[in-house]
Structure 1
Amino acid sequence: MIRLLVPALMLAAAPAAPGADHLPDDPVLRLLMAGDAARATGNGALLLDSAQQLKLLGAQPAEGQEDLAAVWTREAGAHGRTEPAFAFRGRALGPAYRKGSLDAGGSVTMRQLFLAGQRAQISLAPSGHAPRLSIRVQDAEGSTLCAKAVGGPQADCAWLPLFTDRYDIVIANGGPEPVAFYLIVR
Structure 2
Amino acid sequence: MIALLLPLLFATAMPSSDLGPRDPVLRALVEGEAAQAQGDGATLGEKAQLLTALGATPAPGQQDLASLWTSEAQSRGATVAALPYRGRALGPAYRRGSVVPGGSVTMRQLFLGGQRAQILVAPTSSGDGHLSIKVQGAHGETLCAKPVGGPQANCAWMPLFTERYDIVIENDGAAPADFYMLVR
Which category describes the TM-score, using the shorter chain as reference length?
0.7 to 0.9
**Which of 154, 163, 167 is residue 165 of structure 2 equivalent to?**
167
Q: When the two structures are aligned, how many residues end up with a matched partner?
A: 171
Query: What secondary structure is seen at the aligned counterpart in 1 of 2:84?
Result: coil
Partner of 2:94 in structure 1? 97
Distance in 1 between residues matched to 2:23 and 2:100, nearest whole Å = 25
Q: Are the aligned partners of 2:101 and 2:129 in contact in 1 as well (CA < 8 Å)?
A: no
Runs of 4+ in 1 over 6 A off after TM superposition: none
Query: What secondary structure is seen at the aligned counterpart in 2 of 1:21?
Result: coil
Note closer, same or farther for the CA distance 1:141–1:185 as it changes in structure 2 (3 Å cut): same
5+ long unaligned stretches in structure 1: 1-9
**Which of 69, 74, 81 is residue 84 of structure 1 equivalent to?**
81
Partner of 2:26 in structure 1? 29
Which residue type is aligned with residue 143 of structure 1? E
Distance in 2 between residues matched to 1:163 and 1:115, nearest whole Å = 7
Note closer, same or farther for the CA distance 1:151–1:86 as it changes in structure 2 (3 Å cut): closer
Match runs of 1:9-48 below 5 Å: 21-48=18-45
* TM-score of the pair, normalised by structure 2: 0.87
Which residue type is aligned with residue 162 of structure 1? L
Note closer, same or farther for the CA distance 1:88–1:20 as it changes in structure 2 (3 Å cut): farther
Match runs of 1:112-123 below 5 Å: 112-123=109-120
Which residue type is aligned with residue 97 of structure 2? G
Identity across the alignment (%):
62
5+ long unaligned stretches in structure 2: 1-6
**Which of 152, 167, 176 is residue 154 of structure 1 equivalent to?**
152
Q: Are the aligned partners of 2:114 and 2:159 in contact in 1 as well (CA < 8 Å)?
A: yes
Distance in 1 between residues matched to 2:98 and 2:17, nearest whole Å = 22
Partner of 1:184 in structure 2? 182
Deviations 1:82-117 (A, max 9, x none): 332652445321000001111101100000000011
Q: Are the aligned partners of 1:136 and 1:146 in contact in 2 as well (CA < 8 Å)?
A: yes
